[in-house]
Chains A and B, each alone.
Chain A
Amino acid sequence: MPDKEQALAAAARTAKNMRRAIIRMTHLAQGGHPGGCLSATDLLAALYEGFMRVDPRDPRRSDRDFFFLSKGHAAPALYAVLMEKGFLNPWEITDFRAKTGRLPAYPSCELTPGVDIASGSLGQGLSVANGAALAARLNGTDQRAYVMLGDGELHEGQVWEAMMTAAHFRLANVCAIVDYNKLQLDGPVDEVKTLGDLRGKWDRFGWHVLEINGHDLSAIYDAFAAARDWQEGPSVLIAHTVKGKGISFMEDEVGWHAAAPSDEEYAAAMKELS
């Protein structure tokens, strides 16, 4: 694994390229969820550049780390980081949500190299991560299972079942990431159904909680490192993020949860990312 300085330099480049790919994919497909992709971008960039042990030449290598995108609507962000890491070809951006190709609207592990589980129905990813982590423990490997959850996704009861499972089995090789951008499809999370004391809830469920700014690459790196070094049980990064981060007119706008940029908006966004 690279050291922190190398990882941060790579993550900054990767995050910028990811944002451009996300805007291009959602514009070309005239669909998708750009807001929640852009909020997750820096987290994914830091994770893949600093911590994920994966091999694009052998995506199913038996000693790989696992990443599960439980908030499946952020598929373009996942595809973008997989392009950066060599699992997918850059020209495949035209295939997002297309009839053919390998980039369906929501992740499919059968279609896309580097994707380990299908998602799109919210609430399931943490359970999947626990299963992979328990298997790794059984095999005596040091593999880690990362899972990214949306904030609105935490309304799903299964997440809380899985939180108990990870804590009960003291799964130190599980690291959850909450992309806490405070907005969901119908409006602000606090108005739809508040998450209340989110840090306290994870803490009381037996998790090691790391609360960070989800756009500060250095802070993200340090949190992943602290999670990796924590041996007592599972860790969660509660990452405060901004929906639409990086594109001025998309930031903190609920309308960009699920909306495609027009030609004009595309041009303006790409200019900001140049």
Chain B
Amino acid sequence: MDVKIAPREAYGRALVELGRENEDIVVLDADVAKASMTVLFKEAFPDRFFDLGIAESDIMATGAGFAVAGKIPFVNAYANFLLGNGWEQLRLSICYAGQNVKVVGHNIGASSAKDGPTHLPLEDIALARVIPGLTVLEPADAIEMKKAVRAVAAHAGPVYMRVGRMPTPLVTREDDPFVLGRANILRPGRDVTIVACGCMAAKALSAAAELAARGLEAEVVNLHTIKPLDEETLLASARKTRAVVTAEEHSTRAGMGSAVAEFLAGRCPVPVRMVGSRDIFGICASYEDIQEFFGMTAAKIVEEAEKACSMRDI
């Protein structure tokens, strides 16, 4: 966990690799190619890169048009602007129309830090996961991102993927399997389940180490695919531990944690405590300070895990 790499760098490089192998891959960006790292694809394949300017509604539906004509478009912009301005286009022209478009949200969660509340996407998972037929994912680190890009391209159908901006500890290995819709257990445990996605997976592992020191063995689940949910893995873990914590760089309203809670409420109703932003906008601050502000920390995961265990024991 000492090495940190930004998932977006892995994303940009993986797109170039993919572009080399498959000439149907095209990349669309909304004037953020340097932030999204699609600039690498632009340099390698200028003919297959399209900057549509600051027009997220337009870029979303243009992606649908590429797919109608048989291409595999990756549509990139900042997550909140893309899902916010482009939501109705994502719903109708991409998902209802069944188009094979890969929508990629950048600068997610707290990563825009000092840019403040206007630039902190904390709602995009919620906006994506209510749309039928849309696969939603957020890889945990740079290694997983590389595999995810391939899996997303190979999947026939619309996808929304969150790409982390900040350097993030490596929590997966090159030889770990990656299958869309199948969660990976990063650490087995019997006392409490921590379900995490994206950069929160590394924090979940830190929290698990702290919990172990306090006598609780946490099972850490890397839920890289938020939809469709890996119900089998979640159910098995919840049945074993009877206490669950979720951790995401997103609002706890209608995000990944809510998806887990919705499922478990009907199948295995155990306490589910959620780590993520509450029903509140952000602030302008350093990345660390905003994560602290929202409680997106290992310490908060530890606190919530202990709460979940005490609720189970009542």
The answer, yes or no, to whether A265 is at the interface (CB within 8 Å) is no
- State whether A118 and B96 are in contact (beta carbons under 8 Å apart), knowing that A127-B89, A135-B69, A135-B71 are contacts in the complex: yes
Interface size class of A (residues with CB under 8 A): 35 or more
B92 touches A118 (CB 8 A): yes
A135 touches B26 (CB 8 A): yes
- State whether A128 and B64 are in contact (beta carbons under 8 Å apart), knowing that A62-B70, A135-B26, A164-B53 are contacts in the complex: yes
The answer, yes or no, to whether A124 is at the interface (CB within 8 Å) is yes
Q: Which residues of B sit under 8 angstroms from A139, Cβ to Cβ?
A: 69
Chain B interface helix/strand/loop/mixed: helix
Name the CB-closest residue of A to B50: A134
The answer, yes or no, to whether A158 is at the interface (CB within 8 Å) is yes
CA distance A143 to B61 in the complex (A): 19
Bitwise, B47-71 to A at CB < 8 A (1) or not (0) is 1101011010111111111111111
A138 touches B47 (CB 8 A): yes
A121 touches B55 (CB 8 A): no
CA distance A133 to B50 in the complex (A): 13
- State whether A131 and B62 are in contact (beta carbons under 8 Å apart), knowing that A66-B68, A165-B52 are contacts in the complex: yes
The answer, yes or no, to whether B258 is at the interface (CB within 8 Å) is no
CA distance A247 to B65 in the complex (A): 35
- State whether A132 and B69 are in contact (beta carbons under 8 Å apart), knowing that A121-B88, A165-B55 are contacts in the complex: yes
List residues of A (77-124) whose CB comes within 8 Å of B's CBs.
108-110, 116-121, 123-124
The answer, yes or no, to whether A162 is at the interface (CB within 8 Å) is yes
The answer, yes or no, to whether A212 is at the interface (CB within 8 Å) is no
A135 touches B70 (CB 8 A): yes
Bitwise, A138-162 to B at CB < 8 A (1) or not (0) is 1100010100000000000110011
The answer, yes or no, to whether A28 is at the interface (CB within 8 Å) is no
A128 touches B93 (CB 8 A): yes
Q: Which residues of B sit under 8 angstroms from A130, Cβ to Cβ?
A: 58, 62, 65
- State whether A131 and B89 are in contact (beta carbons under 8 Å apart), knowing that A157-B57, A161-B57 are contacts in the complex: no
CA distance A143 to B65 in the complex (A): 13
Q: List 22 A-B contacts (CB under 8 A).
A: A109-B97, A117-B64, A117-B65, A117-B68, A123-B57, A124-B88, A124-B89, A127-B57, A127-B58, A127-B65, A127-B89, A130-B58, A130-B65, A131-B61, A131-B62, A131-B66, A131-B73, A132-B65, A135-B71, A136-B69, A143-B69, A161-B53
- Known contacts A117-B68, A131-B63; can you find 14 more A-B pairs with CB under 8 A? A109-B97, A109-B98, A127-B60, A128-B64, A131-B67, A131-B68, A132-B69, A133-B65, A134-B65, A135-B65, A157-B57, A162-B61, A164-B55, A165-B58
Q: Which residues of B are interface residues toward A (Cβ below 8 A)? A: 26, 47-48, 50, 52-53, 55, 57-71, 73, 88-89, 91-93, 96-99
* Pairs A-B, 6 closest by C-beta atoms: A131-B65, A135-B69, A127-B61, A161-B58, A128-B65, A161-B55
